Amino acid sequence: MTGTLEGRVALVTGGRGGTGRAVSQRFADEGAHVYAADLSDGGTVGEDPAAGEFLRFDVTSEDEVIAGIAAIESTRGRLDIVVNAAGVEMETTIEETTLEDWNRIFAINVTGTFLTCKHALPLLRQSAHASIVNFGSYDGFIADPKLAAYCATKGAVHALTRAMA
């Protein structure tokens, strides 16, 4: 490993998932201190406890997002990288999708990305190396009738990401 992230602090939502866990581990291997944020806390990222920790951080709750970022600020004093990898997929056509399903997938994939970016930005703006990585999807570009709501959320993430950039 190159140590290119030495001294940096990263927040990775969905940090217990397949992608979030791999990103968290790689960032830790590169020297960052990683907050792997998911629906439960407890445990360390990798074998070295100094490399990072899991943080309870439900991206659909503005209170939890604000509290999680405040905890990072009070313990580390900085935040350099945010990766929004929390997400869910729903294999339903529009006719099979209930309003409850629709609201839930938008709350996690879109509102969660919005809230995490919005509340991380004040700290990120203080970093000379700030980065945000949002997880869109091929399905945000290519329509799949069996993933109607999922496609819509990923299109929204792409548009939000372009608007922020």
Q: Which of 6, 158, 151 is nearest to 93 (CA)?
A: 151
User: Quick check: is 150 catalytic?
Assistant: yes
State the Cα–Cα distance between residues 37 and 21, nearest whole angstrom. 10
Answer yes or no whether residue 67 interacts with ligand NAD by CB under 6 A: no
Where does this chain touch ligand NAD (CB under 6 A) — which range of 42-50, 56-64, 69-77, 96-104? Answer: 56-64
Quick one: 13 or 92, whose CB is closer to ligand NAD? 13
Map tokens 């999922």 to a residue: 150
Q: Verify binding: residue 60, ligand NAD, rule CB under 6 A.
A: yes
**Nearer of residues 128 and 138 to ligand NAD, judged by Cβ:** 138
Which DSSP state fits 147?
Answer: G
Whether the CA torsion 58, 64, 66, 70 is positive or negative: it is negative
Among 11, 12, 45, 59, binds ligand NAD (CB under 6 A): 59
Q: Does 111 bind ligand NAD (CB under 6 A)?
A: no
**Cα–Cα distances in angstroms (integers) from residue 133 to residues 42, 48, 74, 144, in the given order:** 24, 25, 23, 24
Binding site for ligand NAD (CB under 6 A): 13-14, 16-20, 38-39, 57-60, 85-89, 108, 112, 135, 137
